[in-house]
Amino acid sequence: MKDTQLEQGLALDGHSDTYLRAVARIEAEKREAERIRYATMAVAASVGAGAYGTGTMARVTTAAKLFCITFAFAAPSVLMMLYVL
């Protein structure tokens, strides 16, 4: 009986090689997705911590915030003058 199972491609626990490879690939994809989530959170935490300090990251973050706020207020006025008037 065991010789027949091994000839048919069944592993000792009753699962086929294809099934075992598929499960291993799914587990590897889950681990990769988890690594990406951890890396994203590490970057967000470091940027967040640096934004409230006095270093270079704090200055860059403050400048980016000011640019976004200025653009949000100035863009509609400039576009109105260019295309409507």
- Whole-angstrom Cα distance, residue 49 to residue 39? 15
- For residues 18 and 34, membership in a common domain is answered with yes
Domain span at residue 69 reads 55-85
* pLDDT at residue 27, rounded to an integer: 96
Do 45 and 76 sit in the same domain of this protein? Answer: no
19 in the same domain as 31 = yes
CA–CA distances in Å: residue 14 to residues 17, 20, 24, 28, 29? 10, 10, 16, 22, 24
pLDDT on residue 80: 92
Residue-level pLDDT, tens digit, the chain, 85 residues: 455 555 555 555 677 888 889 999 999 999 999 999 999 998 888 777 777 777 787 888 889 999 999 999 999 999 999 998 7
Whether residues 5 and 31 share a domain: the answer is yes
Domain match, 2 and 14 both: yes
Alpha-carbon span 2 to 8, nearest angstrom? 10
What is the tally of structural domains in the chain? 2
